[in-house]
């Protein structure tokens, strides 16, 4: 099967990846209401068709936080991408860099921030706050010294939401000989993945925080080791005051990821954040909360003039990107789309997925009469 749309990579990834990883990428928390809403609320928005305008030249680039993006799309932080393709974070970063868009590396990537910077370019760096502040301080210094331009501080995961699919697939909670045998069978029955990732993609640690894992004696032989380590080490006591602490150790722009409420958005401005990502973690945390796209307009109205507003959650086409921009986003991030593409075909597939988003966005601009994305607004939507 050749992928025509972004969602086609989902099916290709389903075929190639062991079930535990496909379900981990694909799933959301609890009944997955928010995951569905993210997609369906975007689909329900109507674009406004306009005709007979001179659409011979288009400006798809945007400026943000001192960078020029070739289009208003970025790769959201996705944990453990090196389990979906060999050294997956480096491959995805290369595809993003070639496309002129940012790659944001997760704290819990398989490849370390050093490996991504060396194999591609210094990525935007995503931070989860761990209890060990000494380690955090050191990690921020490493990212800064490598030249990471933006720190994305994820604030919607003080504790992981329950994901039923991960329990059913044996990704979480399975142990002992049965769990090990199931995981082995899952690998053996996906030989292309076995060859690429299991045989040639090691080490399978969480590169940037491997030192912290080792300190606690977690060898990281099994992915479930990582997950229990995450549960033990993420700091639930973090408050707005801790942003001051982060700023003491990071002098570049800080973007807060996981804001869905207007009051929190105002607080982000008061704390001096350079940007925020309107996000519910792709429906993977508190199920039942509103979709990102439905939260976006009120947040953009309240604080749009004060900091950069990005959104993620449910973006599956270039048309969705234009809808989000029309409602106040500066750029969108995609999570599952690039994880699916990476699992389906590595760097090449991520590059193709980004090319698909770009051409869809261009078509949407032409047919709505939008020549410059910087001027995109509600006039591009049919809101009646």
Ligand X SMILES: Cc1cc2nc3c(=O)[nH]c(=O)nc-3n(C[C@H](O)[C@H](O)[C@H](O)COP(=O)(O)O)c2cc1C
Min dist CB 362 to ligand X, Å, is 21
Task: Name the one range near ligand X by CB under 6 A: 142-150, 281-289, 299-307, 364-372.
Answer: 281-289
Min dist CB 315 to ligand X, Å, is 6
Interface with ligand X, residue 25, by CB under 6 A: yes
> Rounded CA gap, 29 and 286, in Å?
7
Question: Which of 312, 320, 347, 360 contacts ligand X by CB under 6 A?
Answer: 312
> Rounded CA gap, 105 and 119, in Å?
13
**Which ranges of the chain would DSSP assign to H, the alpha helix?**
8-16, 19-26, 33-44, 88-99, 113-119, 133-146, 164-169, 176-188, 191-193, 210-215, 223-233, 242-248, 262-270, 292-303, 318-326, 336-368
The DSSP result for 281-324, as a single string, is GGGTSSTTSPPHHHHHHHHHHHHTTTSEEEEESS--SHHHHHHH
Residue among 200, 204, 249, 281 flagged as catalytic: 281
Evaluate whether 22 touches 352 at the Cβ level (below 8 Å). Answer: no
Annotated active-site residue 281? The verdict is yes
> Rounded CA gap, 87 and 84, in Å?
9
Site size for ligand X (CB under 6 A): 24
Site for ligand X in 62-81 (CB under 6 A): 76-79
Min dist CB 372 to ligand X, Å, is 25
Interface with ligand X, residue 279, by CB under 6 A: yes
How far out from the chain centre does Cα 91 lie?
15
The mark string for 75-114 relative to ligand X (x by CB under 6 A, - otherwise) is -xxxx--------------------------x-x------
Min dist CB 336 to ligand X, Å, is 3
Question: Which of 18, 102, 275, 313 contacts ligand X by CB under 6 A?
Answer: 313
How far out from the chain centre does Cα 181 lie?
31
Interface with ligand X, residue 201, by CB under 6 A: no
Interface with ligand X, residue 315, by CB under 6 A: yes
CB closest to ligand X, residue no = 335
The mark string for 139-168 relative to ligand X (x by CB under 6 A, - otherwise) is ---------------x--------------
Evaluate whether 253 touches 289 at the Cβ level (below 8 Å). Answer: no
Min dist CB 174 to ligand X, Å, is 18
Q: Which is nearer to ligand X, 21 or 347 (CB)?
A: 21
C-alpha neighbours within 13 Å on the C-beta side of residue 329: 27
The two tokens of residue 164 are 């039923």
Cα–Cα nearest to 99, from 369, 318, 380, 327: 318
Query: 124-127 and 67-69 as β-strands: parallel, antiparallel, unpaired?
Result: unpaired
Q: Which is nearer to ligand X, 23 or 196 (CB)?
A: 23
Site for ligand X in 317-346 (CB under 6 A): 334-336, 339
> Rounded CA gap, 123 and 100, in Å?
12
> Rounded CA gap, 104 and 75, in Å?
6
The mark string for 206-245 relative to ligand X (x by CB under 6 A, - otherwise) is ----------------------------------------
Q: Which is nearer to ligand X, 78 or 380 (CB)?
A: 78
Question: Which of 19, 37, 281, 323 contacts ligand X by CB under 6 A?
Answer: 281
Q: Which is nearer to ligand X, 120 or 125 (CB)?
A: 125
Question: Which of 29, 34, 38, 174 contacts ligand X by CB under 6 A?
Answer: 38
203: preceding bond cis by omega (within 30 degrees): yes
> Rounded CA gap, 350 and 343, in Å?
9
Interface with ligand X, residue 127, by CB under 6 A: no
Interface with ligand X, residue 356, by CB under 6 A: no
Query: Which residues are known catalytic residues?
Result: 281
The residues of the shown chain that bind ligand X, judged by CB under 6 A, are 24-25, 38, 76-79, 106, 108, 126, 154, 257, 279, 281-282, 284, 312-315, 334-336, 339
């Amino acid at each position: 099967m050749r992928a025509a749309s972004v969602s086609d990579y989902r099916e290709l990834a389903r075929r190639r990846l062991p079930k535990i990883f496909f379900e981990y990428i694909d799933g959301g928390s609890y009944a997955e209401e928010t995951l569905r809403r993210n997609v369906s609320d975007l689909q329900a928005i109507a674009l406004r068709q306009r005709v007979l305008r001179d659409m011979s030249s288009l400006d798809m680039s945007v400026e943000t936080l001192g960078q020029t993006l070739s289009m208003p799309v970025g790769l959201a932080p996705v944990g453990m991408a090196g389990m979906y393709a060999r050294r997956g974070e480096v491959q995805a970063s290369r595809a993003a860099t070639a496309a002129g868009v940012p790659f944001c590396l997760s704290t819990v990537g398989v490849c370390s921030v050093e490996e991504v910077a060396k194999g591609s370019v210094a990525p935007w760096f995503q931070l989860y706050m761990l209890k060990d502040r000494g380690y955090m301080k050191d990690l921020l210094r490493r990212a800064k010294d490598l030249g990471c331009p933006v720190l994305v501080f994820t604030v919607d995961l003080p504790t992981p939401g329950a994901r039923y699919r991960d329990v059913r697939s044996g990704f979480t909670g399975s142990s002992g000989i049965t769990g090990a045998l199931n995981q082995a069978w899952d690998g053996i029955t996906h030989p292309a993945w076995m060859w690429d990732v299991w045989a040639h993609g090691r080490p399978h640690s969480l590169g940037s925080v491997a030192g912290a894992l080792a300190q606690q004696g977690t060898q990281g032989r099994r992915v479930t080791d990582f997950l229990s380590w995450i549960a033990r080490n993420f700091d639930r006591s973090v408050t707005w005051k801790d942003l001051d602490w982060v700023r003491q150790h990071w002098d570049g722009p800080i973007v807060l990821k996981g804001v869905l409420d207007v009051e929190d958005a105002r607080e982000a401005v008061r704390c001096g954040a350079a940007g925020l990502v309107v996000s519910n973690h792709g429906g993977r945390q508190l199920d039942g909360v509103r979709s990102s796209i439905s939260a976006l307009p009120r947040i953009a109205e309240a604080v749009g003039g004060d900091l950069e507003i990005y959104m993620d959650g449910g973006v599956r086409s270039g048309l969705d990107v234009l809808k989000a921009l029309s409602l106040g986003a500066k750029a969108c991030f995609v999570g599952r789309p690039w994880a699916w593409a990476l699992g389906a075909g590595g760097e090449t597939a991520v590059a193709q997925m980004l090319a698909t988003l770009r051409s869809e966005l261009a078509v949407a601009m032409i047919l709505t009469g939008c020549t410059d994305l910087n001027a995109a607004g509600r006039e591009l939507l049919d809101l009646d």
